[in-house]
Amino acid sequence: MATKELTFQDVAEHNTKKDLYMVIHDVIYDATKFVDEHPGGEEVLLDVAGQDATEAFEDVGHSDEARETLEQLKVGIVKRKAGDPKPKAAPTGAVAASAQTEGAGLGVGLYAVVLVGGLIAYGAYQYLQQQQAAQNA
């Protein structure tokens, strides 16, 4: 489907149970068909109908499965205009901080693996050289 660009004003018009859009991370989703299926109930979706639901959605800590469902409801992206509500930040605070630490941890771990691997390879090379030298002697 071609990506539509709607303004916040356009999205705000879709704010009923029978016509329900919401914005998450600047992407517009049509949750109309999903309202009755939402495991978290229809109330919470109606609360954010026609609005930016990024915070509400992220606060719940939705699963990957929920994010896949979201992908299927995508209708377009928000075209921001002056005076529109600010984009809600992606995962913030603790989540972002822990993600960063995890990233750093992985980096160090990766270095260690490369270093140890290199040392082993070097050791094996030296050993083989010595073996060869001993054989040729």
Q: How far is the CB of 26 from ligand HEM (least distance, A)?
A: 14
User: What are the residues whose beta carbons fall under 8 Å from the beta carbon of 73, sequence distance 6 or more?
Assistant: 29, 30, 31, 33, 34
Q: Which range of residues in 5-13, 28-36, 83-91, 120-128 is near ligand HEM by CB under 6 A?
A: 28-36
Exactly one of 1, 18, 65, 134 binds ligand HEM (CB under 6 A); that residue is 65
Per-residue burial over 46-59, b = 16 or more CB atoms within 10 Å of its CB, e = otherwise: eebbbbbbbebbbe
CB closer to ligand HEM, 89 vs 114: 89
Q: Which residues bind ligand HEM (CB under 6 A)?
A: 29, 31, 34, 38-40, 44-45, 48, 53, 56-57, 60, 62-63, 65-66, 69-70, 73
